[in-house]
Amino acid sequence: MDAKAIAAAGETRRIRASYGRYLEDFIVGDIYEHRPGRTITEADNIHFSLLTMNFHPMHCDAAYAAKSEFGRLLVNSGLTVAIVLGMTVNDVSGKAIANLGWKEIKLSAPVFCGDTLYAESEVLEKRESRSRPTQGIVTVHTRAFNQDGVQIMEFIRSALIPKRGHGVDDDQ
């Protein structure tokens, strides 16, 4: 039945939101555009810097940063990596059993408080696990851009993903 027929018949449907993907859902070459974007605030930057004990004055001393080539505070690159990684979770690793690693993390442009970040991930590889028959490994290349379309970061990440019917939430 189509939506109009269901509504006319007075039937109620229950639809559960899905978070993440199963191994079968990944197709090499697909690109996931991660949304929404995320604007980084000065509070984000100082809290993360202090929480992680990174007291570099470029992150927390505006007078010092004003004398630098950038003329203002830089966002802590650890925060930038964490935000971009977080943006990818729903599309890439929301059902993951484990992150297996990151490599080739490249920071290609500075990030400042007030910048809005957007990201996309391209599926590079998908394969079944040799030792875990109900799981597989997915590798993606993630790129992040600021509000002006300038690429600020990229990295490659691999995650262990369950096959359909073998995820933690399959019975919920």
Q: Report if residue 153 sits inside a domain.
A: yes
> 172 pLDDT exceeds 60?
no
Q: Report if residue 5 sits inside a domain.
A: no
| Confidence at 8, pLDDT banded by 50, 70, 90 | confident
Collapsed DSSP state (helix, strand, coil) of residue 49: helix
- The predicted-structure confidence for 15-63, as pLDDT tens digits, reads as follows 777 789 999 999 999 999 999 999 999 999 999 999 999 999 999 999 9
Please indicate whether residue 4 or residue 141 has the higher confidence score (pLDDT). Answer: 141
Q: Return the percent helix, strand and coil in the chain, to nearest 5.
A: 25, 30, 40
> 74 pLDDT exceeds 90?
yes
Q: Report if residue 42 sits inside a domain.
A: yes
- The predicted-structure confidence for 111-136, as pLDDT tens digits, reads as follows 999 999 999 999 999 999 999 999 99
Q: Could you tell me the CATH number of the domain that includes residue 59?
A: 3.10.129.10
Using an 8 Å Cβ cutoff, are 167 and 22 in contact?
yes
Give me the amino acid identity at 80. T
Start-to-end CA distance of the chain, whole Å, equals: 25
How far apart, in whole angstroms, are the C-alpha atoms of residue 6 and residue 14?
12
Q: Average pLDDT, stretch 52-78?
A: 96
Q: Report if residue 3 sits inside a domain.
A: no
Q: Within 13 Å, how many C-alpha atoms sit on residue 142's CB side? A: 30
Q: Average pLDDT, stretch 63-87?
A: 97
**Could you give the number of structural domains in the chain?**
1
Q: Report if residue 2 sits inside a domain.
A: no
Report the pLDDT value the prediction gives residue 12, as an integer from 0 to 100.
79
